[in-house]
């Protein structure tokens, strides 16, 4: 316990007197000041962390195979088989790169960063969050829209690694074998091909800053964010073994793909070639030059060698998304009502009505939850105060609830 010490008492560690410290804590045979106590606490924490550093605990035989990873993703994400296959192989190879250091040969496996292109609401972020559930390495999701060049309002590029360090509990060795998902990568595309007198600090400038992270280099990372705590000590992180997965909607890139496909189709063979083109899913024909024409610089495209796409969701896919996954929207609401002792059920016609409205409002999979929320809001407000134990939602009830909400303003002409 703390005792009031006289002027002759000094800290047994640093020698400061009572007048030079805020608090002097007495022990059996000596004293310790508040500053030495804080420093001792940090030393104990650092020592404990270093002695209990997380081990990957994986071997080549225990690695989840690509087919197993895809099978896990199938439980949560509907369709998108192409993206699942690319993502599963990339993660599997990332594990093997981690284990490669134990092999004695001269062949060095290069990491294969991946970029996923797909319309909003097709499942890019959901894929990243789902695969994080089964990983043995630190995983974090960051948003590219807040990044700017150093010295401008926004977050520095290094903040990406700051979040990875936080997930890894500041274990540098664990963070250096982690996986980072950079969302909204299309929002940092070059604004124009024409030179400008102003700097593109949140576009091309951010892309150039990302190059060193994607390629692999030693980066000094501020553990608490560089701009709010400029006095902090930097942590050196090597990004050589960090896998980067990027995702973006790239809204409007279909027009560039269509232009490229049309320019290549000339002569009498044009009709037969055009007939084989799926006009409803032009993203399947995406190539790196399309990304360049959209606004990504060639250097960053070269550091994202694996390019995959997400298919647009049709009516059947939306209907399956509503009910089939382990964490489907309907199952979430049933769980919410079950916690109040209420059994919730739906008509099949209700499901079809919700999907039809999501297509009409052009909201994609994200819109399904908004529509269900608008239908269920009154029931969620009143039922917890009532003794009713069952609720069956019919199509007529759903129509009535949605028409009385503000959703009719979303109708697209």
- Summarize pLDDT for 46-61 with one digit per residue, the tens: 766 554 444 445 667 7
Determine the Cα–Cα distance for residues 162 and 352; give it in Å rounded to an integer: 44
Report the Cα 157 to chain-centroid distance in Å. 16
Pick the closest to residue 325 from 82, 130, 83 (CA basis): 130
Give CA–CA dist 266/156, Å, rounded.
Answer: 47
Chain center to CA of 351: 29
Superfamily classification of domain 66-252+282-309:
P-loop containing nucleotide triphosphate hydrolases (3.40.50.300)
Q: What is residue 383's three-state secondary structure?
A: helix
Q: Whole-prediction pTM value? A: 0.73
The second-level CATH assignment, the architecture, of 315-410 is Orthogonal Bundle (1.10)
**Each residue's pLDDT expressed in tens, for the chain with a length of 413 residues:** 444 445 568 888 888 888 888 888 888 888 899 989 988 888 887 766 554 444 445 667 778 899 999 999 999 998 899 999 999 998 888 888 878 766 666 777 788 899 999 888 788 888 988 888 887 788 898 888 888 766 566 677 888 888 899 888 888 888 888 889 998 898 888 766 555 555 666 677 788 888 888 888 888 888 776 555 566 688 889 998 899 999 998 988 988 888 888 754 445 554 455 557 777 788 888 999 999 988 898 999 999 999 999 988 889 999 999 999 988 999 999 999 999 999 999 999 999 999 998 888 877 788 898 899 999 999 999 998 888 889 999 999 999 998 887 665 555 44
CA–chain centroid gap for 364, Å, is 19
In sequence order, what are the beta bridge partners of 221?
235
Distance (Å, whole) CA 292 – CA 298: 6
- CATH 3.40.50.300 intervals, the chain: 66-252+282-309
- State the span(s) of the chain assigned CATH 1.10.8.60: 315-410
| Cβ contacts of 146-151, under 8 Å, gap ≥ 24 | 147/188, 147/202, 147/206, 147/209, 148/201, 148/202, 148/205, 148/206, 149/199, 149/201, 149/202, 149/205, 149/206, 149/209, 150/209
* Residue 386 CB partners (closer than 8 Å, separation 6+): none
Burial of 29 by CB count in 10 Å (0-12 exposed, 13-18 middle, 19+ buried)? exposed
Paired tokens of 169 = 């509990």
């Amino acid at each position: 316990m703390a005792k009031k010490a006289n002027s002759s008492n000094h800290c047994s560690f640093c020698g400061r007197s009572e007048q030079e410290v805020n608090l002097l804590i007495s022990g059996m045979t000596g004293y310790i000041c508040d500053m030495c106590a804080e420093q001792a606490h940090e030393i104990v924490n650092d020592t404990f962390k270093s002695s209990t550093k997380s081990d990957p605990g994986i071997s080549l035989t225990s690695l989840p195979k690509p087919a197993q990873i895809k099978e896990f993703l199938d439980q949560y994400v509907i369709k998108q088989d192409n993206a699942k296959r690319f993502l599963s192989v990339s993660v599997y190879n990332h594990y093997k790169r981690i284990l490669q250091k134990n092999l004695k040969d001269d062949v060095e496996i290069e990491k294969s960063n991946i970029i996923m292109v797909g319309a909003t609401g097709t499942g890019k972020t959901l894929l990243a969050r789902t695969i994080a559930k089964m990983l043995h390495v630190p995983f974090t999701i960051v948003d590219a829209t807040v990044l700017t060049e150093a010295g401008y309002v926004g977050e520095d590029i290094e903040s990406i690694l700051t979040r990875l360090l936080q997930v890894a509990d500041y274990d540098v060795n664990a963070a250096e074998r982690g996986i980072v998902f950079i969302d909204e990568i299309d929002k940092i595309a070059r604004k124009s091909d024409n030179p400008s007198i102003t700097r593109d600090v949140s576009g091309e400038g951010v892309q150039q800053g990302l190059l060193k992270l994607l390629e692999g280099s030693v980066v000094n990372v501020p553990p608490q964010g560089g701009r709010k705590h400029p006095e902090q000590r930097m942590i050196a992180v090597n990004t050589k073994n960090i896998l980067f997965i990027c995702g973006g909607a790239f809204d409007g890139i279909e027009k560039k793909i269509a232009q490229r496909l049309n320019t290549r189709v000339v002569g009498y063979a044009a009709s037969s070639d055009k007939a084989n083109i799926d006009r409803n899913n032009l993203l399947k024909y995406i190539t790196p030059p399309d990304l360049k024409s959209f606004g990504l610089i060639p250097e960053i495209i070269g550091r994202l060698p694996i390019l995959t796409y997400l298919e647009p969701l049709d009516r059947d896919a939306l209907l399956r998304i509503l009910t089939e996954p382990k964490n489907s929207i309907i199952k979430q609401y049933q769980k919410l009502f079950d916690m109040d002792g209420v059994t919730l059920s739906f008509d099949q016609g209700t499901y079809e009505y919700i999907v039809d409205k999501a297509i009409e409002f052009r909201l994609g999979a994200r819109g399904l939850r908004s529509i269900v929320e608008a239908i269920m809001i009154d029931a969620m407000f009143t039922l917890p105060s009532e003794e009713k134990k069952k609720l069956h939602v019919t199509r007529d009830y759903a129509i009535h609830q949605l028409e009385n909400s503000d959703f009719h303003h979303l109708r697209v002409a």
